[in-house]
Amino acid sequence: MTDGDRTVADTTAWWATGVTRIAPGEIGYRGYAVQDLIAESDFVSTIWLLTRGELPDATTRRLLDAVLVASADHGPQAPSIASARMAITCGVGVNSAVANGVNVLGDTHGGAGQQCVALLQRLVAAEREGRDIDELAIDAVADHRARGAFVPGFGHRFHPRDPRRDPILALVERAVAGGELEGAALRAGLALERALAARGRPIPMNIDGISAIVYAELGVEPELARGLFVLSRSVGILAHAWEEAGTGRRIKGPLPPPLLADYTGPQARPL
């Protein structure tokens, strides 16, 4: 091997990838020709293929589709949507407006799903070591309370019962009953819900909680689960930014004029 060969090999290895193969006239996703995927597959399956390496089976595809649909939008009062709508009125392009929305999907707004997958994984691992799942859930709730923390994936500011919970839960339960999913994350999620309700008032799982059950059952890593949520919410962010762009409004701020934010600083004073 000459030094020149070695330099080329080092350079191509620098960007080595198992995701896509690109050559003149050739595009392959994880080994499948893009022409075949176009003809035979669909977008949800392609998301799974690219991020996880294999095409999903029918149950995985159905569940992933369900959580992606359910997370796509939650209206302009969600800060991610509001910030994208404000951004597009400032003269930036649609890419920047969408990035603006995605950028505020942080630990507090949009991060509960990732945190809940991690919590479910911990409970499932401890149950496998012989612990009782209800006792584990009671301990987890107590631990969060002691830290003054909310249990991620449960409760909702607007919805006494999140309308996205029941239909996705029904899909998971059917898949568990059919032996297509193990059911350990489902058991853990329901045990947390029981433990949270023990004080008398139900605190049902929300979209992040039920999505976390799906992702944990499917073996998706917590951080990738957040990435998939971001993909889904990007659809709503784009739709809202595009609608706002269509209004022709310029420089939309957080308050409709003539409202102004309260001033709490010192009284006017001479300089």
Ligand X SMILES: CC(C)(COP(=O)(O)OP(=O)(O)OC[C@H]1O[C@@H](n2cnc3c(N)ncnc32)[C@H](O)[C@@H]1OP(=O)(O)O)[C@@H](O)C(=O)NCCC(=O)NCCS
C-alpha–C-alpha distance, residues 236 and 121, integer Å: 29
Q: Residue 241 pairs with which residues in a beta bridge? A: none
Residue given tokens 């994350």 in the structure block: 185
> Measured from the CB atom, is 133 or 151 closer to ligand X?
151
C-alpha–C-alpha distance, residues 90 and 252, integer Å: 7
Tokens for 62? 């159905």
> Measured from the CB atom, is 153 or 183 closer to ligand X?
153
> Measured from the CB atom, is 65 or 208 closer to ligand X?
208
Which amino acid does the sequence have at 26? E
R_g of the chain computed on alpha carbons: 23
Min dist. Cβ of residue 114 to ligand X (A): 11
Min dist. Cβ of residue 157 to ligand X (A): 5
The residues, ordered by sequence, that sit 6+ positions from 157 with a Cβ below 8 Å of its Cβ are: none
Tokens for 52? 């996880």
Give yes or no for residue 150 binding ligand X (CB under 6 A): yes
Give yes or no for residue 155 binding ligand X (CB under 6 A): yes
C-alpha–C-alpha distance, residues 46 and 172, integer Å: 21
Min dist. Cβ of residue 111 to ligand X (A): 8
Q: Looking at 48-56, 88-96, 149-157, 263-271, which segment touches ligand X (CB under 6 A)?
A: 149-157
Min dist. Cβ of residue 156 to ligand X (A): 5
C-alpha–C-alpha distance, residues 180 and 128, integer Å: 19
Contact pick of 128, 147, 157, 250 for ligand X (by CB under 6 A) = 157
- Find the residue with minimal CB distance to ligand X: 155
Give yes or no for residue 32 binding ligand X (CB under 6 A): no
Render 155-204 in DSSP notation, one character per residue. --SS-SS-TTHHHHHHHHHHHHHTTSS--HHHHHHHHHHHHHHTTSS---
Residue given tokens 């999913």 in the structure block: 181
> Measured from the CB atom, is 6 or 145 closer to ligand X?
145
> Measured from the CB atom, is 56 or 236 closer to ligand X?
236
Check: CB of residue 116 under 8 Å from CB of residue 153.
yes
Give yes or no for residue 156 binding ligand X (CB under 6 A): yes
Q: Site map for ligand X, 58-97, x if CB under 6 A? A: ----------------------------------------
Among left, alpha and beta (phi > 0; psi -120 to 50; other), residue 50 is alpha
Min dist. Cβ of residue 236 to ligand X (A): 14
Residues 188-227 that bind ligand X (CB under 6 A): 196, 203, 206-208
Q: Site map for ligand X, 118-147, x if CB under 6 A? A: --------------------------x---
Binding residues vs ligand X (CB under 6 A):
112, 144, 150-157, 196, 203, 206-208
